[in-house]
């Protein structure tokens, strides 16, 4: 045979084998801890045309491919290799390859650690591990398995969490996956992690670790809704007081049932969460406050309860308490029937005294006068004779107050007005009440209020849409001082007209007449 031909054929054959070997990419199927030998095990799939597999390993500085060291060479058909010297307490990175090939993407064993819970709970454990890298068909989630050591049971699924697929040579140790779990106290548990790819075909597992939990103090902390009060007739304020919490809580939740017109039993209630307070360390005197601004104080009884959700123990639950709901009606021309209700469970005194008051002024500040101080939840109805205070010139407004300054909504009941007019007035009088002309109205209303004064020729000399303020005679609101366009009007006879709505706008009062201006 021609020598040159033989040389050419040999070179061509080597080139052909070299090229075809390079076209086959080596890869590891998974790196796992063997369930029998408890050694780190590498698995790969059979690759045609490859006789042996070279194992490369790196435990330090694995961000650089050159730091991988050849540690063994095995027959390719074995399809697995166990690292007899592998330290399961650290991540070990592995690659495979063969003649004429490069190294495969690295895989690493998952190193599971069990440490005390991040939130300081004695009956909880923190599991952390390095993510599985370069998983075939992409990583989907991790399964967490556990076994109570003193019980003769198999490992069972504790939980599963989503995982992020990571590629490359290395991962940042600060990006460990963390899983915090509360368990029963005073028990020893064993854990391992399983990584699962999206096709559920690759299932490497971690090392097994043990952790012993301690008992947690589970004494309930008293939580008391101390006061539920209506604020400014626009929202309801809930004040809560507790004993010091022996263990931290995550949140205080405010729960509420829909408003009811009549009291209910606890079994008839259906609570839902409407607000929460986050735990933020020290709270003076262990006092907390909620503001329910979605409540309508005029709708009825709102039932409230507070629940503390703890990091370490069962939740604590408060008593149940409602707002004070005041309602009533006019039963006679000048007599009102007043009702109120409040309901509480656990710590509630049905004999607590309540006071029924009248709001007699809102300017310059709100003033009240007690009507009766002898009301209780069981004696919650009172008849009011409004003629006793009709000369005060105010529309009856009622409110219930408890002995700890807890307030109900304000109730207004309209009555047919009683109106009087003086037949004369004298602007130069020394008596301030006689210096201006104004209507003396019992149970007045500013609803569509209009008061007009005319001279003898029918010319309008005074107009106002505000009723007089009877407690402030120096305040000329709603009062004619006897002037027109800044000048004194002449003495003589003048006419007036007055009209306004009352009884919540359902009825209208009108009257006209005459009077004398004296100079």
- pLDDT-based confidence at residue 12 (cuts at 50, 70, 90): very low
Containing 461, the helix (H) or strand (E) segment is strand 460-464
In degrees, rounded to 5, the angle at the alpha carbon of residue 89 between the alpha carbons of residues 88 and 93 is 60
Integer angstrom CA distances of residue 89 from 92, 94, 167, 394: 9, 15, 22, 84
Residue 166 lies in a domain: yes
Question: How is the chain split among helix, strand and coil, in percent rounded to 5?
Answer: 10, 45, 45
Question: At CA 297, angle to CA 293 and CA 303, rounded to 5?
Answer: 85
Strand duo 156-162 + 139-148: pairing: antiparallel
Q: Do residues 102 and 146 both lie within one domain?
A: no
The DSSP code sequence of 427-484 is: TT-SSGGGSSB--EEES---EEEEEEEE-TTS-EEEEESS---TT-TT--TT-B-SEE
Euclidean distance between CA atoms 510 and 12, whole angstroms: 120
Question: Same domain for 391 and 455?
Answer: no
User: How many structural domains does the chain have?
Assistant: 5
Contact 282, 264 (CB under 8 A): no
20 has a pLDDT exceeding 50: no
**Residue 423's CATH number:** 2.60.40
Q: Based on the domain organization, do 308 and 287 belong to the same domain?
A: yes
Confidence class for position 294, pLDDT limits 50, 70, 90: very high
From the list 213, 218, 153, 151, the residue with the least C-alpha distance to 183 is 213
In 3D, which of 395, 393, 375 has the Cα closest to residue 330? 395
Contact assessment for residue 514 and residue 456, using Cβ atoms and an 8 Å cutoff: no
- Please tell me what DSSP assigns to residue 3: H
Using the 3D structure, point to which of 365, 389, 412 is the last residue of a domain: 412
Within a domain: 396 = yes
Cα–Cα distance, 501 to 513 (Å, whole number): 19
Task: Examine residue 14 and state whether it is found in any structural domain, yes or no.
Answer: no
Residue 1 falls within a domain, yes or no? no
Higher local confidence (pLDDT), 282 or 307:
307
pLDDT at 7 over 50: no
Domain of residue 483, residue span:
418-517
d(CA 377, CA 389) in angstroms, rounded, equals 26
Residue 265 lies in a domain: yes
Residue 448 · residue 501 · CB < 8 Å: yes
d(CA 340, CA 344): 14
For the cut 90, the answer to whether the pLDDT of residue 302 exceeds it is yes
| Whole-number pLDDT of residue 367 | 82
Reading the block at residue 378, the tokens are 């069981």
pLDDT more than 90, % of the chain: 56
Domain match, 291 and 365 both: no
Pick from 326, 289, 314: which is nearest to 304 by CA?
Answer: 289
121 and 49 co-located in one domain? no
Mean model confidence pLDDT for the chain: 87
Residues 432, 512 within the same domain? yes
Q: Give backbone dihedrals phi and psi of 79, rounded to 5 degrees, phi first.
A: 65, 5
**Shared domain check, 318 and 330:** no
3-state SS, residue 407: strand
Mean pLDDT of all residues in 160-184:
85
Report yes or no on 8 lying in a domain.
no
pLDDT beyond 90 at 285: no
Question: What percentage of the chain reaches a pLDDT higher than 70?
Answer: 90
Q: What is the DSSP secondary structure assignment for residue 66, as one 8-state letter?
A: G
Judge if 200 and 160 occupy the same domain.
yes
Q: Is the pLDDT of residue 238 over 70?
A: yes
* Domain end among 360, 395, 412: 412
Instruction: Please state the rounded mean pLDDT for residues 341-366.
Output: 81
Selected residue with higher pLDDT from 123 and 40: 40
Domain contains 39: yes
Last residue within a domain, chosen from 258, 290, 322: 322
Say what the pTM is. Answer: 0.59
CATH number at residue 200: 2.60.40.10
Using alpha carbons, select from 388, 391, 442, 440 the residue that is nearest to residue 415: 442
The predicted pLDDT at position 10 comes to: 39
The answer to whether position 468 is within a domain reads yes
Quote the pLDDT of residue 24. 63
424 CA to centre of own chain: 64
Tell me, yes or no, whether 103 and 187 share the same domain: no
pLDDT of 161 over the 90 cut: yes
Q: Hey, how many other C-beta atoms are within 10 angstroms of the C-beta on 330?
A: 17
Between 113 and 67, the more confident residue is 113
Return the pLDDT at 100: 76
């Amino acid at each position: 045979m021609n020598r040159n031909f033989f040389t050419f054929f040999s070179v061509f054959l080597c080139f052909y084998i070299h090229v075809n070997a390079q076209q086959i990419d080596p890869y590891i199927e998974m790196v796992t801890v063997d369930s029998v030998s408890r050694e780190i095990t590498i698995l790969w799939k059979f690759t045609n045309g490859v006789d042996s597999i070279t194992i490369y390993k790196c435990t330090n500085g694995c961000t650089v491919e050159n730091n991988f060291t050849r540690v063994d060479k095995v027959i390719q058909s074995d399809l697995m290799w166990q690292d007899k010297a592998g330290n399961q307490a650290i991540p070990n990175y592995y690659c495979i390859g063969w003649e004429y090939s490069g190294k495969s993407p690295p895989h690493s064993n998952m190193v599971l650690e069990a440490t005390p819970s991040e939130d300081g709970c004695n009956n909880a454990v923190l599991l952390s591990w390095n993510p599985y890298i370069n998983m075939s068909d992409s990583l989907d989630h991790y399964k967490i398995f556990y076994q109570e050591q003193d019980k003769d049971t198999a490992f069972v699924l504790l939980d599963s969490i989503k995982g992020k697929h990571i590629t490359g040579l290395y991962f940042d140790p600060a990006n460990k996956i963390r899983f915090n779990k509360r368990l029963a106290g005073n028990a020893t548990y064993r854990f391992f992690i399983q990584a699962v790819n999206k096709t559920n075909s690759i299932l490497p597992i971690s090392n097994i670790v043990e952790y012993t939990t301690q008992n947690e103090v589970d004494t309930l902390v008293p939580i008391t809704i101390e006061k539920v009060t209506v604020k400014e007739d626009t929202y309801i304020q809930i004040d809560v007081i507790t004993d010091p919490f022996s263990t931290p809580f995550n949140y205080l939740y405010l729960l509420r049932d829909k408003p009811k017109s009549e009291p209910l039993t606890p079994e008839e209630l259906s609570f839902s969460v409407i607000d929460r307070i986050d735990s933020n360390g020290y709270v003076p005197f262990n006092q907390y406050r909620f503001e329910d601004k979605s409540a309508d104080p005029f709708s009825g009884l709102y039932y409230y309860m507070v629940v503390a959700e703890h990091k370490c123990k069962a939740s604590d639950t408060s008593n149940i308490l409602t707002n004070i709901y005041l309602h009533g009606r006019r039963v006679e021309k000048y007599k009102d029937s007043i009702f109120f209700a409040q309901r509480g469970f656990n710590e509630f005194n049905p004999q607590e005294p309540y006071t029924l008051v009248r709001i007699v002024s809102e300017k310059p500040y709100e003033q009240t006068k007690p009507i009766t101080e002898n009301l209780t939840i069981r004696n919650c109805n009172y008849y009011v004779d409004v003629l006793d205070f009709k000369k005060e010139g105010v529309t009856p407004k009622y409110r219930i107050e408890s002995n700890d300054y807890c307030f109900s909504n304000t109730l207004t009941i309209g009555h047919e007005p009683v109106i009087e007019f003086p037949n004369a007035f004298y602007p130069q009088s020394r008596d301030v009440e006689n210096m201006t002309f104004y209507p003396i109205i019992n149970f007045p209303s500013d609803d569509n209020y209009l008061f007009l004064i005319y001279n003898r020729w029918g010319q309008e000399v005074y107009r106002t849409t505000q009723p007089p303020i009877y407690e402030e005679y120096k305040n000329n609101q709603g009062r004619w001082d006897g002037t027109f366009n800044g000048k004194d009007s002449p003495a003589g006879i003048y006419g007036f007209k007055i009209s306004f709505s009352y009884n919540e706008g359902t009825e209208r009062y009108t009257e006209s007449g005459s009077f004398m201006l004296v100079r």
